[in-house]
Structure formats: C-alpha cells, structure tokens
Amino acid sequence: MSGVVSFNWRGAWAIYNQELSRAWRTFFQTILSPVLTTSLYFIVFGAAIGGRINEVDGISYAAFIVPGLLILTLLSETTTNASFGIYMPRFTGSIYELLSAPVGVAETLIGFVGAAATKSLIISAIIMVTARFFVDYSLAHPILAVGIIMLVAAAFALFGFILGIWADGFERLQIIPLLVLTPLTFLGGTFYSIDMLPELWRSIALVNPIVYLVNGLRWCFYGKSDVSIGVSLGLTALFLAVCIGIVAWIFRTGWKLRS
C-alpha cells in the first residue's frame, strides 16, 4: 500500500521522469532542433552579418547576441515543451490518470514544470557550448547566469503550463509562442541594444518584458546591460509569482481540468 499522506514525491518523480523520457523520445524536435536553429542564427547574424557590424558597448556583435539568442531559445522551447506536456494528456484523454492519482498541484508542477525547466537547462548548456564554436564570448557572472536561466526556465515553464491548460486545440497552443513571444523576443533587444533606438522607440521597448530578461542575462555575461540587473531579477521573479498564482487558482477551481 502507498504511504502517500501529505506529499507524493514518487508521484512527482514519475511525472518528471515521464516528461523527460518524452523529450528523449522526440530527441530531434526537443533537443536537436533548437540547437540547429540557434547555430544558424550564429552563422547568419554572428559570422556573416556580425562581421560587418561595429562593436556594441565594447562587445563584438557576435558575442553581444549570445545572451539574447539564449533567451530566445529558452522562452520558445520552455513554453512549447511545458504547454505540450500538459496539453497532450488532455488531448489524448490520459489526463484522467493524473486527476485520479494521489498527486496535487505541487507534485504536478514539480513534475511538468521541473521537466520542462530541466530540458531548457540542457538546451541552454548545449547552445552555450555550440556558441563557442562560432563566437568567443565571456561569462562575467556564471552563477548568477545559471540562476537567471533557471528562474526564466521555471517562469516560462509555468507560463507554458497555463497555456497548455487554456488551449482547446493545437492552433491555440501555438498562437501565444508564435504571435506574442517570438515578436516580443525579437523586439526585446536580442539583436540590438535598446540604447541604439530613438527615444520614443526606446520608451516603448521598455514596456516589453523580454527586454528585462535579455538584459539581465546579458549583464551576467558582460557586466553591461541597458537596464539594471536588480530590475531584471525583480520583474522575472514577479512574473514567476504571477504564474504560480494562476496555476494555484487553476488547481483550486479545476478550471479546464475537472468538470
């Protein structure tokens, strides 16, 4: 008989393990594809075009875009992985097993969000290693960089989880990553410093939350960024807290999960 009383660690581990196994099964889509895409960015923007662009803030253009590309991949992959992770059981009907199991919100989140975040950390590590083949970058604050990557991965895994519960079809599942996240990331200073923008556009750019993520990570790499690291960390933590609040509400009310 199970000894489940207040927290089901084995249940959380089962979900986590299952999700990582799914990633391994879809190795090309989950791991190889983002690495290839990012490599292409480095080749095109870093090597081909970057060679003709002056330094930005004293950093070579190819090195300047590394943190932004990392955030670009991190957001897109984490959100997609987490949203598919919870949407697929809903779509196939196997969600019954989760809902009837002795697992609560914490176990479910540790399983799904933890797995999505782990995948993202693995992808980030691979991308950073891959980037080394194209660019000579430095990492001024490695521990903080890992911290920010983990924070962003956790926040967007939660965000993806919410999307996966909200979505009623595959099209809806991809609307936010494609039509909201990707444009915001491209406009969020991934490929440029917002200081390079005219004053009006700079002010508008500061409304884009992705600017703070990209600049937070860029500060960890080079000790320089368009906005303060404190603001970046604070806003990321706030986003994480809001996502946790929404997920807790989803489980309390059973929205789109329980009838």
Partner 1 sequence: MESILEIQGLTKTYPGGLTALDAVDLDVRRGEIFALLGPNGAGKTTLIGAVCGMVRPTGGSIRAFGLDMARDWRRARARIGLVPQELGFDILESVERSVRFSRGLAGLAPDPRKIESILRSLSLWDKRDAQIRMLSGGMKRRMLIAKALAHDPELIFLDEPTAGVDVELRRDMWRLIGGLREQGTTIILTTHYIEEAEEMADRVGVIDKGRILLVEDKDTLMARMGSKEAVFTLSEPLHALPPDLPGLSLSLGEAGRSLCYRGSGADADGELAELVQALVARGIRFSALDIHESTLEDIFVDLVENGG
Q: Which residues contact partner 1 by CB under 8 A?
A: 1-6, 8-11, 13-15, 17-18, 21-22, 25, 88-89, 92-104, 254, 258-259
For the chain, the straight-line distance linking the first and the last C-alpha, in angstroms and rounded, comes to: 29
Strand partners, 59: 56
SS3 193: coil
As a whole number of angstroms, the distance between CA 183 and CA 191 comes to 12
Shortest reach from residue 10's CB to partner 1, in Å: 5
HEC-encoded secondary structure of 88-157: HHHHHCCHHHHHCCCCCHHHHHHHHHHHHHHHHHHHHHHHHHHHHHHCCCCCCCHHHHHHHHHHHHHHHH
Contact (Cβ atoms closer than 8 angstroms) between residue 120 and residue 153 = yes
Query: Dihedral sign, CA of 48, 216, 149, 166?
Result: negative
> Cα–Cα distance between 153 and 145 in angstroms, integer?
12
The CB-of-160 to partner 1 minimum distance in angstroms stands at 18
In one letter, which amino acid is 8?
N
User: And the tokens for 3?
Assistant: 């000894």
* Minimum CB distance to partner 1, residue 4 (Å): 4
- Which one, 110 or 229, has the nearer CB to partner 1? 110
Nearer to partner 1 (CB atom), residue 3 or residue 58: 3
Number of C-beta neighbours around residue 104 at 10 A:
14
Nearer CB in complex with partner 1: 54/92: 92
Nearer to partner 1, 128 or 247 (CB): 247
Q: How far is the CB of 216 from partner 1 (least distance, A)?
A: 36
Question: Which CB sits closer to partner 1, 54 or 259?
Answer: 259
Q: What six digits make up the tokens of 219?
A: 């500060």
Give 1 or 200: the residue with its C-beta nearer to partner 1. Answer: 1
Residue closer to partner 1 by CB (options 132, 258) is 258
Q: CB 46 → partner 1: shortest distance, Å?
A: 36
Residues in the chain, overall count: 259
Q: What's the min distance (Å) between Cβ of 85 and partner 1?
A: 11
Instruction: Compute the least distance from the CB of residue 249 to partner 1, in Å.
Output: 14
